[in-house]
Amino acid sequence: MLQRIQTIYMIISILSMGALYFWFPNLQDEAGNLLISNEQPLVIGLIAGSVLLTFISILNFKKRQMQFVLNRLTIILNFVLLGVFVYRSLNLPGETLVSEKGIGVLLPIISIVFLVMANKAIKRDEDLVKSVDRLR
């Protein structure tokens, strides 16, 4: 059913990853060279993969175990994306025009939190179904 709480959590996760693509900072150095961009293939691929897996997970609402596995894969993708952001932020040479990295780097963490909450709700539903099956 699409009205379950885990669906809301997954939609919030999709929205945060969509916001990441639009709000991710394009950092430039003093010479105007682009250091980090939201148009890099690795960043686009990881964001699109995360959004796509979460959307597929929402559509698999009848298969709770599949939802659980897809959410775990999405969490792994978000950790990889977070690692890419941290790696590129730590390897910036010198000072940039904008010395703060912005909230774009934190949005995968927000997505991970909501996906973990969705997995807890899916597990709770699965336990409820198993307890009802025991009574039959």
> What rounded mean pLDDT belongs to the chain?
82
Average pLDDT, 10 consecutive residues per value, the chain (136 residues): 83 89 66 68 89 93 90 95 82 57 74 94 89 76
Among residues 42, 43, 26, the alpha carbon closest in space to that of 101 is found at 26
**Is the pTM higher than 0.85?**
no
Phi first, then psi, for residue 24 (nearest 5°) are -65, 130
Report pLDDT for 94: 61
